[in-house]
């Protein structure tokens, strides 16, 4: 699953003029890729933990551990926020809880690579709808072809319940992006994320206790759950935050489109989840569609900026 962070629209900080360009370009890209590897291998580790606690128990441990780390590190201010601020962060947290819960239910039933590919359709649909350009029909068609192939021409090779959970997680991911941006405008730095993670953990705790009970407090289970939280939330968020200081948001979005391939690799190496040729082609189609949609959106923004500059010059 992707790290819980939305694609920012702000431009990254300008690197010093004396800094070597090649090194400056490769550094942040490496950080983003490392974050993606961390997320997907964390997801693979979560699958191995599910026999101990169940999917809901894994989500509970991940959210709790991530919330504790973020609250300690960020130390968000609790006073001085308007009611609308708190409403936004609560909806953001509830969306985060739903996104994680649905995704982990999906990877309990279908391969990790397939689940992430289906989940990516949520942000992809959001990008296509936001752009409103005819070329996005091509990207949407590629994505649909990928989904069709992923199911073996009708989802006969995948558990339909797992597919439904993954698509639901994708819808929540798109909603997450919207409310992440709103939260970022209302709270400084990562305060909103820390508070939303705490809300998500509190909302999910009863579900984890009902499914897992005292098994959640087993020392080995706690250690593995904390490792999942670090790999899937804390570490990738930190790496991406560092990378985005020097990396354009468009490049970041394209790199995030590679996550289905990274997830498939993690599933193969850790969980022995092999993919058929058709399923591998399906993942490649969805990745291509995602990259294309991002580039189209960036091109549209540049065209608008050029138009604005031209209008100013004319006046």
Q: What is the pLDDT of residue 204?
A: 93
Output DSSP code: residue 99: H
Q: What is the pLDDT of residue 298?
A: 58
> 250 near 298, Cβ under 8 Å?
yes
Round to whole Å and give the CA distance between 52 and 307: 58
Question: What tokens appear for 266 in the block?
Answer: 């993690």
CB atoms near residue 311 (< 10 Å): 9
- With 90 as the cut, is the pLDDT of residue 91 above it? yes
Round to whole Å and give the CA distance between 77 and 89: 13
When comparing pLDDT for 41 and 244, which is higher?
41
Across all residues in the chain, what is the average pLDDT?
A: 77
CA 129 to chain centre: 19
Q: Which of 57-61, 98-102, 120-124 has the lowest mean pLDDT?
A: 120-124
Q: What is the pLDDT of residue 6?
A: 40
| Across 93-98, average pLDDT | 94
Query: What's the pTM value of the predicted model, to 2 decimals?
Result: 0.74
Q: Among 117, 71, 132, which residue's Cα sits nearest to residue 264?
A: 117
- With 70 as the cut, is the pLDDT of residue 276 above it? yes
Q: Which of 95-109, 125-139, 270-284 has the highest mean pLDDT?
A: 95-109
- HSE-CB for 169 with a 13 A CA cutoff: 27
> 27 near 174, Cβ under 8 Å?
no
Q: What is the pLDDT of residue 306?
A: 47
* Cβ neighbours of residue 196 closer than 8 Å, sequence gap 6 or more: 89, 90, 92, 93, 96, 183
Of the pLDDT bands very low, low, confident and very high (cuts 50, 70, 90), residue 67 is very high
* Cβ neighbours of residue 8 closer than 8 Å, sequence gap 6 or more: 184, 244, 249, 252
- With 70 as the cut, is the pLDDT of residue 153 above it? no
Q: What is the pLDDT of residue 168?
A: 95
Go through the chain and tell me how many residues it has.
315
> 114 near 88, Cβ under 8 Å?
no
CB atoms near residue 177 (< 10 Å): 19
Rg (alpha carbons) of the chain, rounded to whole number: 20
Round to whole Å and give the CA distance between 140 and 98: 25
Of the pLDDT bands very low, low, confident and very high (cuts 50, 70, 90), residue 1 is low
- With 90 as the cut, is the pLDDT of residue 202 above it? yes
Q: What is the pLDDT of residue 272?
A: 82
- With 80 as the cut, is the pLDDT of residue 136 above it? no
Of the pLDDT bands very low, low, confident and very high (cuts 50, 70, 90), residue 209 is very high
Q: What is the pLDDT of residue 56?
A: 92
């Amino acid at each position: 699953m992707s790290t819980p962070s939305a694609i920012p629209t702000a431009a990254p900080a300008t690197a010093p003029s004396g800094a070597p360009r090649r090194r400056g370009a490769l550094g942040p890209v490496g950080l983003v890729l490392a974050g993606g590897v961390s997320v997907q291998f964390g997801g693979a580790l979560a699958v191995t933990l599910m026999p101990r606690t169940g999917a809901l128990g894994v989500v509970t441990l991940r959210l709790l551990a991530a919330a504790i780390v973020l609250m300690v590190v960020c130390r968000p201010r609790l006073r001085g926020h308007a009611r609308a601020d708190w409403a936004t962060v609560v909806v953001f947290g509830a969306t985060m809880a739903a996104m994680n819960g649905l995704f982990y239910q999906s990877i309990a039933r279908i391969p990790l690579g397939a689940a992430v590919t289906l989940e990516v359709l949520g942000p992809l649909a959001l990008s296509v709808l936001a752009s409103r350009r005819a070329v996005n029909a091509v990207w949407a068609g590629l994505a649909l072809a990928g989904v069709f192939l992923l199911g073996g021409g009708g989802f006969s090779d995948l558990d339909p319940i797992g597919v439904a959970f993954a698509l639901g997680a994708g819808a929540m991911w798109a909603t997450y992006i919207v409310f992440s941006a709103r939260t970022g405008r209302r709270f400084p730095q990562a305060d909103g994320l820390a508070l939303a993670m705490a809300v998500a953990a509190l909302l999910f705790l009863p579900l984890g206790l009902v499914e897992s009970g005292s098994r959640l407090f087993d020392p080995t289970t706690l250690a593995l759950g904390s490792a999942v939280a670090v790999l899937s939330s804390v570490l990738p968020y930190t790496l991406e935050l560092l990378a985005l200081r020097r990396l354009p948001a468009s490049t970041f979005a394209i790199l995030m489109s590679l996550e289905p391939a990274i997830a498939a690799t993690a599933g193969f190496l850790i969980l022995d989840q092999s993919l058929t040729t058709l399923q591998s082609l399906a993942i490649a189609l969805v990745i291509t569609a995602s990259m294309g949609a991002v580039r189209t959106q960036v091109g549209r923004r540049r065209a608008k900026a050029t138009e604005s500059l031209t209008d100013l010059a004319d006046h």
